[in-house]
């Protein structure tokens, strides 16, 4: 038996409860290469993790939380403290999916030893199963160093948001033959270094398919190709929480409008003194 946490929705408190050891594992995800598509979604809170977990194979605590949760202009300012706090919440709220946590910008690029210290901290403080880092051939040595010391790694090639300043924006990558060849080489290097999963973001469709055929580990597409071994979206994008929808996102809901409507209804009832009613008040028992 393992111990996870169940969120009591009546009190919003996370309570430790025993649960069967049913969580997916890194080897099981690796074995899904070429099989049933892998479902990955982002999660940043315990309650969202609870809702997404039954439908997901892997929950990614992405550094996209910088924009989604904190309103930052990019992922670059995200800190280790942010990633560890949200990673621990997602682990507490899940029992089935593998949980991977993004390593924030500046926590791994200086070298393998620095990366190991950062990754070890993330795994210790969150209970997650894996870390994710961005970069291609330049990061291959670091990936191999981590994997060789028992830390499962998810790679990330193509459009790498932490490098937005160097890339000059969030446009699709691999439009030229030279850039496509470089990204393909990056993907092979990271897979050969031992990454058990590879996120392929914002690349031309044919390149996404080529990468999937070229590497031995499963690929997870986001604006890549339907041929990838799985797909990921930022959950808040999928739920329609923001006005702008990237091309690669399909909206499955329009929660922003629903939330705004609920807030407007509440405000109208408060101002009209229609809320609270007897149903929401405490009276002495007779």
pLDDT digits (tens, 9 = 90+) for 74-96: 999 999 999 999 999 999 999 99
Residue 105: is its pLDDT beyond 80?
Answer: yes
Distance CA 206, CA 209 (A): 5
* Residue 7, pLDDT score: 61
Is residue 280 assigned to a domain?
no
Residues with catalytic roles: 201
Known binding residues for 3-methyl-2-oxobutanoate: 63-64, 102, 132
Same domain as 259, residue 210:
no
Residue 67 shares a structural domain with residue 205: yes
Q: Rounded distance, CA 182 to CA 177, Å?
A: 9
The CA distances from residue 99 to 2, 153, 170, in Å, are: 15, 11, 26
pTM of the predicted model, to two decimals? 0.90
Q: Which residues are annotated as a binding site for Mg(2+)?
A: 63, 102, 134
Classify 141 as helix, strand or coil: helix
Q: Using the 8-state DSSP alphabet, how is residue 253 labeled?
A: -
**pLDDT tens per residue across span 152-208:** 999 999 988 786 676 666 678 789 999 999 999 999 999 999 999 999 999 999 999
> What is the number of domains present in the chain?
2
For residue 282, CA distances in Å to 271, 277, 286 come to 21, 10, 12
pLDDT beyond 50 at 21: no
Evaluate if residue 227 carries a pLDDT over 90.
Answer: yes
Residue 252 sits in which domain range?
Answer: 239-274
* Domain assignment present for 282: no
Q: Which of 40, 42, 128 is nearest to 88 (CA)?
A: 128
In a domain, 248, yes or no: yes
Are 83 and 122 in contact by the 8 Å Cβ rule? The answer is: yes
In a domain, 286, yes or no: no
Residue 61 falls inside a structural domain = yes
What is the per-residue pLDDT for 16?
A: 54
The candidate with the shortest Cα–Cα distance to 220, out of 240, 239, 197, 243, is: 197
| Statement to judge: residues 104 and 190 lie in one domain | yes
Whether 204 and 256 map to the same domain: the answer is no
Residue 60: inside a domain: yes
Q: Tell me, yes or no, whether 16 lies in a domain.
A: yes
Residues 244 and 228 in one domain: no
Indicate whether 123 and 153 sit together in one domain.
Answer: yes
- Alpha-carbon distance of 157 to 215, in angstroms, equals 12
Residue 161, burial from CB neighbour count under 10 angstroms (0-12, 13-18, 19+): buried
* Backbone dihedral angles phi then psi of residue 118, each to the nearest 5 degrees: -65, -45
Q: Residue 202 and residue 171: Cα distance in Å, rounded?
A: 7
Q: Same domain, yes or no, for 47 and 113?
A: yes
Domain match, 119 and 162 both: yes
Same domain, 73 and 117: yes
Same domain, yes or no: 268 and 146: no
**Same structural domain for residues 213 and 254?**
no
Residue 279 inside a domain? The answer is no
Residues making up the annotated binding site are 63-64, 102, 132, 134
Cα distance between residue 178 and residue 184, in whole Å: 10
105/180 same-domain check: yes
User: What is the number of other CB atoms lying within 10 angstroms of the CB of residue 189?
Assistant: 22
Look up residue 129 and give its DSSP letter: S
């Amino acid at each position: 038996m393992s111990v996870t946490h169940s969120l009591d929705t009546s009190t919003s408190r996370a309570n430790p409860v025993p649960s069967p050891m049913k969580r997916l594992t890194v080897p099981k995800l690796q074995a899904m290469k070429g099989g049933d598509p892998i479902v990955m979604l982002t999660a940043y809170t315990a309650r969202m993790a609870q809702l997404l977990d039954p439908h997901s194979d892997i929950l990614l605590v992405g550094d996209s939380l910088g924009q989604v949760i904190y309103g930052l202009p990019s992922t670059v300012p995200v800190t280790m403290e942010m990633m560890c706090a949200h990673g621990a919440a997602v682990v507490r709220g899940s029992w089935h999916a593998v949980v991977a946590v993004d390593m924030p910008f500046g926590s791994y690029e200086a070298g393998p030893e620095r990366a190991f210290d950062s990754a070890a901290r993330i795994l210790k403080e969150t209970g997650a199963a894996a870390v994710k880092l961005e970069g291609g051939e330049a990061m291959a040595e670091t990936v191999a160093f981590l994997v060789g010391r028992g830390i499962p790694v998810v790679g990330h090639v193509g459009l790498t948001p932490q490098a937005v300043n160097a890339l000059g924006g969030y446009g699709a990558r691999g439009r030229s033959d030279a850039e496509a060849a470089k990204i393909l080489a990056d993907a092979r290097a990271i897979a050969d270094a031992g990454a058990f999963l590879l996120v392929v973001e914002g690349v031309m469709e044919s390149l996404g398919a080529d990468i999937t055929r070229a590497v031995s580990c499963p690929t997870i597409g986001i604006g890549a190709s339907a041929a990838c071994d799985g797909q990921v979206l930022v959950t808040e994008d999928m739920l329609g929480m923001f006005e702008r929808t990237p091309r690669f996102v399909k909206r499955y809901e329009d929660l922003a409008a629903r939330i705004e409507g609920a807030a407007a209804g509440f405000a109208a009832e408060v101002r009209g003194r229609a809320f609270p009613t007897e149903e929401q008040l405490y009276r002495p028992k007779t």
